[in-house]
């Protein structure tokens, strides 16, 4: 869906973060600004305690002033650094697993890595939607019941709609 992830009425939103949880630009900057200084403060504390965040093991903080309860900070790959599809799959799967560990029922996630990290939107859409599908196939008893992919522009929305159609109906759908 097209929208503002910071306004989603879900248990948690996913932040497309960097490994040091410095939320200056892109989706991370918007989430941090709208959620208030608490998010960056808790992110700094997470890094002090756990070290840099990996693709497969996202961090989480409260959501500050946002309507959700948590922000899950997923580190997506930077395009051109290699093995991007696997790293993006890990970031999405890790976010869903973190939501499960927090016993959440609903989650909103952006098009991780497609902004300042440069991951091509069409390719990211395929990987992200496939990762969500795989998670639910592998975890039919999960507490997580709803995952919304919330996109900020029409070009990204179009890429995800096309990938969704291909996954549902095949190339000719």
pLDDT in tens, 57-84: 999 999 999 999 999 999 999 999 999 9
Using CA atoms, how far apart are residues 106 and 50, in angstroms rounded to an integer? 26
Sign, CA dihedral 149-153-154-160, equals negative
Q: Bridge-partner residues for 108, per DSSP?
A: 13, 148
Report how many domains make up the chain: 1
The confidence band for 169, taking pLDDT boundaries of 50, 70 and 90, is low
**Exposed, middle or buried: residue 110 (CB in 10 Å: 0-12, 13-18, 19+)?**
buried
Instruction: Using the predicted structure, report yes or no on whether residue 7 has a pLDDT greater than 70.
Output: yes
Question: What mean pLDDT comes out for the span 40-48?
Answer: 97
Using CA atoms, how far apart are residues 11 and 151, in angstroms rounded to an integer? 18
Q: CATH number of the domain at 90, please.
A: 3.40.220.10
**Residue 34 Rama label (left phi>0; alpha psi -120 to 50; beta):** alpha
- Scan for tokens 């504390």, then name that residue: 45
pLDDT in tens, 129-146: 999 999 999 999 999 999
Domain that includes residue 107, residue range: 5-169
| pTM for this entry | 0.93
The confidence band for 159, taking pLDDT boundaries of 50, 70 and 90, is very high
């Amino acid at each position: 869906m097209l929208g503002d992830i910071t306004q989603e009425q879900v248990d948690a939103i996913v932040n497309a973060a960097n490994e040091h949880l410095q939320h200056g630009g892109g989706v991370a900057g918007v989430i941090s600004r709208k959620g208030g200084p608490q998010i960056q403060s808790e992110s700094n504390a997470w890094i002090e305690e756990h070290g840099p965040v990996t693709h497969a093991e996202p961090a989480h903080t409260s959501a500050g002033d946002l309507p959700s309860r948590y922000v899950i900070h997923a580190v997506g790959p930077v395009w051109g650094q290699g093995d991007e599809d696997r790293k993006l799959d890990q970031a999405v799967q890790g976010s869903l697993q973190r939501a499960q560990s927090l016993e959440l029922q609903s989650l909103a996630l952006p098009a991780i890595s497609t902004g300042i990290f440069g991951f091509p939107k069409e390719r990211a859409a395929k990987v992200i939607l496939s990762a969500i599908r795989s998670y639910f196939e592998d975890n039919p008893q999960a507490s997580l019941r709803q995952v919304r992919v919330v996109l900020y522009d029409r070009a990204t929305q179009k890429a995800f709609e096309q990938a969704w159609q291909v996954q549902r109906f095949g190339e000719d759908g």
